[in-house]
Amino acid sequence: MKHKDRLERPSRLLRHVVLFAFRDSASPEDIREIEEAFCALPDRIDEVHGFEWGTDVSAESLSQGYSHCFLVTFLSERGRDRYLPHPAHQEFVAALEPHLEKVLVIDYWATQTRSSEVI
């Protein structure tokens, strides 16, 4: 990814948060394939500046059925807007849809505080 090689730290980052709840019919193998496909997107789409993901481990029992969280970082709205219709992303969405019960997506500009560092 081209942006990861930059030495300067961007002043703002656009975070794209994606939560998935899978259908009961989705097998562990189906879910593993979806995880791998999502994880492959940063190598296929240059606009992705950062990527991380994980599964719910909260002790609060407030996940409302969402089990997976993916955080995709962009340097600009333009980068995000190029990512969404990108053929690799659309291919991923098509493979995901048969297994998806519900999805929640929130985008926000990361705000840095004195006690934290935006990465």
pLDDT of residue 117: 58
Mean pLDDT is highest, among 2-6, 10-14, 56-60, for 56-60
Of all residues in the chain, the percent with pLDDT exceeding 90 is 82
**Coil, strand, or helix at residue 110?**
coil
CA–CA separation, 84 vs 79, rounded Å? 9
Q: Where are the domains of the chain?
A: 16-57+64-108
- Core vs surface per residue 35-45: b (16+ CB within 10 A) or e: eebbeebbeeb
The CATH topology of domain 16-57+64-108 is Alpha-Beta Plaits (3.30.70)
| pLDDT tens-digit series, residues 60-87 | 999 999 999 999 999 999 999 999 999 9
Task: Provide the whole-model pTM.
Answer: 0.86
**Coil, strand, or helix at residue 91?**
helix
pLDDT of residue 8: 63
